[in-house]
Amino acid sequence: MIRDMFKSLLFSDARLDQRSHEEMVAQLTLKLHKDGSALKKGELDAFYESNFNVAPEIQKKVKEILTATAKMVKASFTNSDSTFSKNKFNRGKLHNLWDVIRIIEHQNDYKIQDYKGMFTWFLEKDAEFTNKSKKVTEEDRHELSYTYWTKTYNNSTFYRKTQHIFERAFLEEVQELVAAGIVKKVRTGQHSFTWKQKLELYIEQGKVDRKNVPITALELYANPPLIEAGHVISFKNGGEAIVPNGELQRKSDNRSQGSKDLQPHFDYQQPETSQ
């Protein structure tokens, strides 16, 4: 699936036999292994020389990024006789696409739902940025030209600039992408309350719930839980897992609340959304 992706986007069979795609995977792995590393010959040689292996979490992320890319390519021209025109794509653009997937799924906790839609969004942004670059003068190209940054994708100064403009574009349009079903927010550990936060909520609430029913310390330790920490502004509406947005509730109350917001009840509750 991944080899086919490279074949569809960039490389002939001969280039695959010459390991061009493996070099790109090595660059991606190095980028995740050592953030800010250049991706040129010297850095890649040193990466192989000094590492017998890379951490499992890096391997997992590399595979996730490549798999997402393969899904985008596979979804691109279904129900059509056309295929992706590889002479219009290049290595720099593929690195940009990988950065975009990383920004979405690993750095901002969204999951791509519609791979064709996401690939189309990426290509639209690429076209917009490329078009803007036409007006950039030679002396400003380091600072302002997306085309130049893409061409010099193996230089960290420039791939960081590309990452920055794609992340900004994504965050500006994320609500529309969510509404269109292209991405959805993923609930991770960061969106749940920690044990320490639960103990803090217990004290802040005066050891009672909003119905003024006492909560005992023993109940906090129950497994399966009797007491849960819920969001005042729900996760779905952008509420964060921070004490001013939290509240200990009986499990049944928390579950019946679903994704609805609560009115602030306790003095410490000053919820804000993250979006």
Structure-block tokens of residue 81: 């006789």
Q: Does 18 interact with other proteins (rule: CB under 8 A)?
A: yes
> Rounded to the nearest 10 degrees, what angle do helices 2-9 and 20-33 cross at?
110
Q: Where are the alpha helices (DSSP H) in the chain?
A: 2-9, 13-17, 20-33, 41-50, 56-76, 91-101, 115-133, 141-144, 146-151, 156-179, 195-204, 217-220, 251-257
Q: Are strands 227-231 and 183-185 parallel, antiparallel or unpaired?
A: unpaired
Interface stretch with other proteins, choices 47-55, 132-140, 242-250, 259-267 (CB under 8 A): 47-55
Q: Does 242 interact with other proteins (rule: CB under 8 A)?
A: no
Least separation in angstroms between residue 55's CB and other proteins is: 11
Interface stretch with other proteins, choices 21-29, 95-103, 185-193, 255-263 (CB under 8 A): 21-29
Kindly tell me which of 10 and 227 has the beta carbon lying closer to other proteins. Answer: 10
- What radius of gyration do the chain's Cα atoms show? 24
Member of 48, 109, 171, 236 binding other proteins (CB under 8 A): 48
3-state DSSP call for residue 242? coil
Query: How far, in Å, CA of 16 to CA of 110, rounded?
Result: 32
Least separation in angstroms between residue 113's CB and other proteins is: 23
> Cα 223 to chain center, whole Å?
33
Member of 25, 136, 144, 165 binding other proteins (CB under 8 A): 25
Least separation in angstroms between residue 67's CB and other proteins is: 9
| Phi, then psi, of 231 in degrees rounded to 5 | -95, 140
Member of 9, 10, 21, 31 binding other proteins (CB under 8 A): 21
Least separation in angstroms between residue 12's CB and other proteins is: 7
3-state DSSP call for residue 227? strand
DSSP state of 187: P
Member of 39, 44, 73, 262 binding other proteins (CB under 8 A): 44
Contact set for other proteins, span 61-120 (CB under 8 A): 62-63, 66
Kindly tell me which of 55 and 127 has the beta carbon lying closer to other proteins. Answer: 55
Structure-block tokens of residue 59: 């391997």
Q: Does 55 interact with other proteins (rule: CB under 8 A)?
A: no
Number of chain positions touching other proteins (CB under 8 A): 33
Binding interface with other proteins (CB under 8 A): 1-3, 6, 12-26, 29, 41, 44-45, 47-48, 51-54, 59, 62-63, 66
